[in-house]
């Protein structure tokens, strides 16, 4: 018998939303306990800051430029490599419960397997889907081709109307909000807590785990859709945190003139989006102008987000309790992370896009190895990436990492990280939407975060960003043009191009907005 | 965000122009090559397609031109402010043709959804026809 793996992901959760990472707004005792007894990573970065490419990286262990999901809306081929397949082939029972998003959601044709599957049972039509023998899907609301949506429709149709409409009638990300402050995507949702998708994901996970014997090995990806917007947690829970008491986040710059000066110091698409003159990607409401964001709206968004983080933490607690009661928890490795972050008020911005700063790139990552593995608790400060997850799962299962994986099994300490050359982590961005294209490549190494831009709609290829995250943790001062740092900057850019895989060839077509 | 999308996909297919036109020019043949369209019915110039999700979309056939090898249709559902799709088949040589599928639509995101499906449909059409060629069925 090998170690079992509970892989927990959330969607769009910032590093600083967890107590163990210094967060003070949400109470997250369950994940904090995982951190105390496991390995806590202080510099885990995604290889893309949007869902589909990042999730494809988790599954394949590859960079977006290798797996080919270069932006949201580009499907990951069903035949793409999958760590779940590797584990399934060596006898692991496999399940994915919650948000998958390897294929586009906006699929009225129901032509993608992932979506078509939701119309039937939880057993994939062809036996396995990307190596998963069991799949139950959910996303951010009650609408769409997901098992959760179907379950609500069949069992609790009366609550469907209470959720926020993520998209408006133009299929655009909705900019409306009906909270106290009018913040976009904030909504009062009367849905009972036990019918909300966070509890549903945990319930379905417990249900599947209870079908397994303790002598079976398993890999279960439990994937919560929250705290990604909309921020519409059950109304009964909203009172946990009064938004009026919420302090403004460190990254929010209250002075408009100071905020705009900082934005002006970055490549021009930052300020253009803030002013509402450039929409480069689908992930934020196109009709919403960030410059209109108020301090109170930031408070309210952060309060709602924190409530969603608390609900996730409690749901994880229920799953862990069920494993303890089942008598197998000591043989389970628990890994907690997310696909990317959320700006959440930083620089006066919300949501996500081609902005490679900590709000989007610095992720929570906790690995509580099975106690039977004898790995001591530690904190890893060296940079790691989500592409290191797949080889980690292989290592836990006693399988050699596959040749197509581009990461390395996660280190268990800084010493281990140093010995195995965890010295940098890379993030890519490519988007081409309605004639606007943006291309970024970023490296985080030592105390530097360095982004180089390729030619696009707003950039001629000479632009970049360079931040000293020790001296300037909020990334306010772009030192790309600082003559004293030219050699450091150029060295980092060289490292980017030396490190990233090159895959010339035809780019896969964009098949939906998301 | 622009209101209107104009999206174009094209594919070279190893098949003669008339073989391809047999598929493209027949309004009821669409469910044979457009992945995600379960069925289609035709009454006069109104075609109703049923999607894999069960959603029905009424369309007006605008052009069926066997000389220019051009097929055009409009989706006329309430969610669509305006839409026109155009499929052109162009002869490259006796054994090879170029098929171009253009989608113009408002709202723009609707155009992207239809356009993305059209791009995948063209790839499927190529696979169907070239597979037939390989097997000598044409």
Q: Do B107 and A109 touch (CB under 8 A)?
A: no
**Phi then psi dihedrals of residue B134, to 5 deg:** -60, -40
In chain A, how many H helices and how many E strands? 15, 13
Q: Do A110 and B52 touch (CB under 8 A)?
A: yes
Res. B138 pLDDT band, cuts 50 70 90 = very low
Q: Which of B5, B53, B119 is closest, CB to CB, to A108?
A: B53
Mean pLDDT on B14-33: 97
Tokens of A63: 């960079």
Ordered DSSP codes for A307-368? HHHHHHHHHHHHHHHHHHHHT-GGGEEEEEEES----TTGGG--S-SS--SHHHH-EEEEEE
**A126 CB contacts (<8 Å, ≥6 apart)?**
none
Residue A412 clears pLDDT 90, i.e. is over it: yes
Query: Cβ contacts (< 8 Å) between A287 and chain B: which residues?
Result: 1
Mean pLDDT on A369-377: 95
Measured between CA atoms, the residue of chain A closest to residue B117 is A511
Fold (topology level) of B5-133: Alpha-D-Glucose-1,6-Bisphosphate; Chain A, domain 4 (3.30.530)
Residue A504 clears pLDDT 80, i.e. is over it: no
Helix (H, G, I), strand (E, B) or coil at B102: strand
Closest CA to A426 of A8, A49, A55: A49
User: What are the pLDDT digits (tens) for A156-201?
Assistant: 999 999 999 999 988 899 999 999 999 999 999 999 999 999 999 9
Q: Do B109 and A111 touch (CB under 8 A)?
A: no
Answer yes or no: is A509 within a domain. Answer: no
A457/chain B closest Cα distance in angstroms: 14
Helix (H, G, I), strand (E, B) or coil at A201: helix
**Phi then psi dihedrals of residue A165, to 5 deg:** -85, 105
Measured between CA atoms, the residue of chain B closest to residue A144 is B53
Please count the residue pairs, one from chain A and one from chain B, whose beta carbons lie less than 8 angstroms apart.
71
Answer yes or no: is A504 within a domain. Answer: no
Q: Do B1 and A279 touch (CB under 8 A)?
A: yes
What is the C-alpha separation between B92 and B14, in angstroms, rounded?
10
What's the pLDDT score for residue B3?
Answer: 86
Helix (H, G, I), strand (E, B) or coil at B64: strand
What is the C-alpha separation between A345 and A243, in angstroms, rounded?
14
B67/chain A closest Cα distance in angstroms: 30
Residue ranges per structural domain of chain B? 5-133
Residue A125 clears pLDDT 70, i.e. is over it: no
Query: Cβ contacts (< 8 Å) between B117 and chain A: which residues?
Result: 109, 111, 511
Tokens of A143: 């609408």
Measured between CA atoms, the residue of chain A closest to residue B118 is A511
Q: Do A287 and B5 touch (CB under 8 A)?
A: no
Buried b (16+ CB within 10 A) or exposed e, A452-462: bbeebbbbeee
* Residues of A within an 8 Å Cβ radius of B: 73, 104, 106-111, 116, 145, 169-172, 279, 282, 286-287, 434-435, 509-513
**Phi then psi dihedrals of residue A255, to 5 deg:** -70, 120
Answer yes or no: is A505 within a domain. Answer: no
User: What are the pLDDT digits (tens) for A90-108?
Assistant: 999 999 999 999 999 999 9
Q: Does B41 touch chain A (CB under 8 A)?
A: no
A237/chain B closest Cα distance in angstroms: 34
Q: How many whole angstroms from its chain centre is CA A294?
A: 25
What is the C-alpha separation between A133 and B133, in angstroms, rounded?
36
User: What burial class does residue A449 get, using C-beta atoms within 10 Å of its C-beta: 0-12 exposed, 13-18 middle, 19+ buried?
Assistant: buried
Answer yes or no: is A190 within a domain. Answer: yes
Complex-level ipTM beyond the 0.85 threshold: yes
**A120 CB contacts (<8 Å, ≥6 apart)?**
none
- Residue A499 CB: number of other CB atoms within 10 A? 16
- Residue A181 CB: number of other CB atoms within 10 A? 17
Mean pLDDT on A400-405: 96
Residue at token pair 């290191």: A388
What's the pLDDT score for residue A119?
Answer: 85
Residue A134 clears pLDDT 80, i.e. is over it: yes
Q: What's the mean pLDDT when you consider all of chain A?
A: 96
Q: Do A510 and B110 touch (CB under 8 A)?
A: no
Mean pLDDT on A493-498: 97
Mean pLDDT on A218-226: 98
Answer yes or no: is A196 within a domain. Answer: yes
What is the C-alpha separation between A166 and A173, in angstroms, rounded?
6
User: What are the pLDDT digits (tens) for A250-309?
Assistant: 999 999 999 999 999 999 999 999 999 999 999 999 999 999 999 999 999 999 999 999
Answer yes or no: is A436 within a domain. Answer: yes
**What residues of chain B, 63 to 92, have a C-beta less than 8 Å from chain A?**
79
What's the pLDDT score for residue A170?
Answer: 87
Q: Which of B35, B79, B108 is closest, CB to CB, to A111?
A: B35
Buried b (16+ CB within 10 A) or exposed e, A91-107: ebbbbbbbbbbbbbbbb
Helix (H) or strand (E) holding A271: helix A269-275
What is the C-alpha separation between A69 and B27, in angstroms, rounded?
33
Q: Do A110 and B36 touch (CB under 8 A)?
A: yes
A239/chain B closest Cα distance in angstroms: 36
Mean pLDDT on A439-466: 97
Q: Under a CB-based contact definition with an 8 Å cutoff, are residues A341 and A226 in contact?
A: no
Write out the E strands in B1-138: 5-13, 37-43, 46-51, 56-65, 70-75, 82-93, 96-106
**What is the Rg, in whole angstroms, of the alpha carbon atoms belonging to chain B?**
15
Res. A206 pLDDT band, cuts 50 70 90 = very high
Q: Do A109 and B35 touch (CB under 8 A)?
A: yes
Res. B132 pLDDT band, cuts 50 70 90 = confident
Query: Cβ contacts (< 8 Å) between A286 and chain B: which residues?
Result: 1
What is the C-alpha separation between A413 and A384, in angstroms, rounded?
12
Residue A477 clears pLDDT 50, i.e. is over it: yes
What's the pLDDT score for residue A140?
Answer: 95
Helix (H, G, I), strand (E, B) or coil at A395: helix
What's the pLDDT score for residue B137?
Answer: 54
B119/chain A closest Cα distance in angstroms: 7
Measured between CA atoms, the residue of chain B closest to residue A105 is B113
Percent of chain A with pLDDT over 70: 99
Domains held by chain A: number: 1
User: What are the pLDDT digits (tens) for A300-352?
Assistant: 999 999 999 999 999 999 999 999 999 999 999 999 999 999 999 999 999 99
Res. A507 pLDDT band, cuts 50 70 90 = confident
Boundaries of domain holding A45: 4-499
What is the C-alpha separation between B49 and A172, in angstroms, rounded?
24
Q: Does B136 touch chain A (CB under 8 A)?
A: no
State the pairing for strand pair B56-65/B46-51: antiparallel
Answer yes or no: is A507 within a domain. Answer: no
Mean pLDDT on B57-83: 96
Closest CA to B49 of B64, B28, B70: B28
């Amino acid at each position: 018998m090998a170690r079992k793996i509970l892989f927990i992901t959330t969607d769009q959760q910032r590093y600083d939303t967890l107590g163990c990472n210094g967060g003070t707004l949400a109470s997250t005792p369950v994940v904090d306990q995982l951190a105390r007894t496991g390995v806590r990573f202080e510099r885990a970065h995604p290889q893309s800051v949007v869902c589909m490419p990042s999730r494809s990286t988790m599954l394949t262990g590859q960079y977006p430029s290798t797996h080919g999901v270069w932006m949201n809306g580009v499907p990951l081929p069903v035949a793409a490599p999958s760590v779940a397949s590797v584990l399934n082939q060596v006898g692991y029972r496999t399940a994915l419960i919650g948000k998958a998003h390897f294929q586009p959601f906006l699929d009225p044709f129901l032509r993608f397997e992932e979506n078509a599957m939701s119309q039937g049972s939880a057993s994939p039509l062809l036996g396995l889907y990307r190596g998963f023998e069991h799949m139950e899907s959910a996303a951010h609301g009650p609408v769409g081709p997901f098992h959760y949506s179907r379950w609500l429709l069949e069992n609790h149709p009366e609550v469907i109307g209470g959720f926020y409409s993520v998209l408006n009638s133009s299929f655009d990300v909705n900019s409306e909000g009906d909270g106290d402050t009018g913040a976009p995507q904030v909504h009062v949702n009367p849905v009972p807590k036990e019918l909300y998708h966070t509890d549903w994901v945990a319930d379905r996970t417990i249900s599947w785990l209870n079908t397994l014997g303790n002598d079976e090995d398993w890999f279960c990806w439990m994937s919560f859709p929250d705290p990604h917007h909309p921020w519409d947690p059950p109304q009964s829970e909203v009172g946990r945190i009064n938004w009026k008491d919420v302090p403004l986040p460190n990254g929010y710059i209250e002075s408009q003139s100071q905020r705009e000066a900082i934005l002006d110091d970055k490549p021009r698409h930052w300020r253009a989006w803030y002013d509402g003159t450039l929409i480069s990607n689908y992930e934020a409401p196109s009709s919403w102008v960030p410059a209109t964001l108020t301090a109170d709206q930031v408070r309210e968004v952060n309060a709602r987000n924190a409530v969603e983080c608390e609900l996730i933490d409690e749901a994880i607690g229920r799953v862990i309790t069920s494993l303890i009661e089942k008598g197998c928890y000591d043989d389970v490795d628990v890994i907690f992370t997310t696909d990317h972050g959320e700006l959440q008020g930083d620089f006066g911005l919300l949501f996500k896009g081609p902005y490679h700063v900590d709000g989007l790139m610095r992720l929570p990552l906790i690995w509580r190895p099975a106690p039977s593995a004898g790995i001591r608790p530690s904190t890893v400060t060296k940079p790691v990436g989500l592409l290191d997850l797949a080889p980690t799962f292989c290592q836990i299962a006693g399988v050699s990492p596959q040749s197509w994986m581009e990461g390395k099994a996660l280190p268990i300490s800084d010493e281990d990280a140093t010995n195995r050359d965890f010295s940098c982590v890379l993030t890519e961005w490519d988007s081409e939407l309605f004639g606007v294209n943006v291309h970024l490549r970023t490296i985080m190494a030592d105390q530097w975060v360095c982004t180089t831009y390729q030619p696009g709609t707003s950039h001629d290829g000479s632009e970049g960003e360079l931040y000293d995250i020790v001296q300037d943790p909020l990334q306010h001062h772009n030192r790309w043009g600082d003559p004293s740092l030219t050699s450091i900057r150029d060295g980092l850019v060289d490292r980017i191009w030396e490190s990233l895989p090159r895959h010339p060839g035809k780019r896969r077509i964009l098949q939906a907005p998301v | 965000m622009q209101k209107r999308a104009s999206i174009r996909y094209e594919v070279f297919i190893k098949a003669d122009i008339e073989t391809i036109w047999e598929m493209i020019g027949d309004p009821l043949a669409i469910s044979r090559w457009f992945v995600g369209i379960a069925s289609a019915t035709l009454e006069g110039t109104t075609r109703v397609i049923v999607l894999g999700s069960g959603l029905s979309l009424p369309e007006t056939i605008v052009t069926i031109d066997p000389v220019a090898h051009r097929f055009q249709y409009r989706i006329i559902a309430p969610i669509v402010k305006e839409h026109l799709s155009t499929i052109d088949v162009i002869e490259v040589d006796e054994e090879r043709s170029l098929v171009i599928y253009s989608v113009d639509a408002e709202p723009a995101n609707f155009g992207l959804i239809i356009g993305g499906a059209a791009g995948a449909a063209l790839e499927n059409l190529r696979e169907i026809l070239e597979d037939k060629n390989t097997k000598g069925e044409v």
